[in-house]
Structure 1
Amino acid sequence: VTDGRGESRRCEEDNERKLNYNPPAQKSLQEIQEMDKDDESLVKYKQTLLGPEAKNTDLSGPNVRVTRLALLCDDAPEPITMDLTGDLSALEEKSFTLQEGVKYRLKVYFKVNREIVSGLRYRHVAYRKGVRQSSMVCMMGSYGPRAEEQEFLCPADETPKGLMSRGQYQIKSCFVDDDKNAYLSWGWNINISKEWN
């Protein structure tokens, strides 16, 4: 198991190799609101995009706080939900069982506290017996601060299927943004089986 920083760095490096994208310079929320004050249409556009100013935001914590990750599947007996606010090492001790060959979606619950976050994305890499099997990147987009929790539903994916695909997988997950900020990194396990248990 790698530490959170190492996995986030590797996570970001993989993305940089695939994309030749240079994000714009980071600006504070106040700087963005002060720009183009004379242009009424831009002011309205910013108000629509940013919404009402966030009150009751957590100024002491990180700018982005990911609270939960849910794995949703129509065939599952119940959704699999991970609480990401507590002891993340406890998730490495658990194993979530998924049936082979089923479609699922990941739903991310998060809160943006102070500044706009640009290019927020979720990424995970799946390992089996120490060998990298697959990876997934889900571009979530850019968000302004809000008092309430926000949600994002990733595109559908499918679990591996077949006798050789069954078994235990270690997942290394992280949340990063275009400004190379790593907000959360953790490990968890899934067990691919013939049936839901």
Structure 2
Amino acid sequence: MADHDEDLTATATEGYKVGEKKSLAEYQKLDANDESLNKWKASLGLGDGAAASSDPAKVTIKKLSLLVDGREPLEIDLTKPNALETLGTHPFIVKEGTEYQIEITFVVENQIITGLRYVQVVKRKGIKVDRSEEMMGSYGPNTATNPTYSKKLPLETAPSGMLLRGTYDAASAFIDDDKHNHLSFNWAIKIAKDWS
């Protein structure tokens, strides 16, 4: 992944400063008498029942899915042993010109994650052809009533034409406002004339 490292750095928003970090217990006590704020905090999993932890915030990516209308989702269960290692050698196959979407299923543990971003760099034959960065949002720790989060990335269209068919190498990372990289991995997508 070394040749992708610089490209996988999340961009900084001009003028934006990351706020002071607070523990889950501090957020729970913040404006404790404000009913609407308490409802909002509860929707983030920050209610009185949320377990405070001094452990660092952690994002665990559980599943990646490739969604295409009219087809069963192509899913990679990242909780299985060696799942990340097989991503680069078993490319997602996408029919040229098809619209598709990536869905990410993940868990947030211990503390609030702010400004989680998905950064992706795509190369073909070693030449960068695309770089994208999507803001996924800020999330409180998952709870028993909300065991996972799910985020769909914007719709994309696979390139089409004989010259654009082939295998594209990609590197992806999940980075938060604190510049903590929760997961980086290499994978591949094959643009084909058909689905096989």
Give 1 or 2: higher helix fraction. Answer: 1
- For 1:115 and 1:58, the matched residues in 2 are separated by 7
Gaps of 5+ in 1: none
For normalisation by structure 1, the TM-score amounts to 0.84
Q: Could you tell me which residue of structure 1 aligns to residue 22 of structure 2?
A: 27
Aligned position for 1:90: 86
Cα shift at 1:75 = 4.5
1:122 to 113, 118, 122: 118
User: How many residues matched?
Assistant: 189
Which runs of 5 or more residues in structure 2 are unaligned? none
Residues 61 and 35 from structure 1, CA distance in 2 versus in 1: closer, same or farther, beyond 3 angstroms?
closer
Q: What SS class does the counterpart of residue 117 from structure 2 fall into?
A: strand
Are 1:50 and 2:45 matched, yes or no? yes
Superposed CA deviations along residues 108-152 of structure 1, whole A, max 9, x for unmatched, are 100011111111121211100000001222211111111311111
2:8 corresponds in structure 1 to 11
Paired position in structure 2 for 1:110:
106
User: Could you tell me whether the CA contact under 8 Å between 1:75 and 1:102 is conserved in 2?
Assistant: no
**Counterpart-to-counterpart distance in 1, 2:148 and 2:127:** 36
Distance 2:166 2:109 in 1: 39
Q: Hey, what does 1:160 align to over in structure 2? A: 159
- Cα offset for 1:54? 4.5
Q: Give the TM-score normalised by the residue count of structure 2.
A: 0.85
Secondary structure of the residue aligned to 2:105 is strand
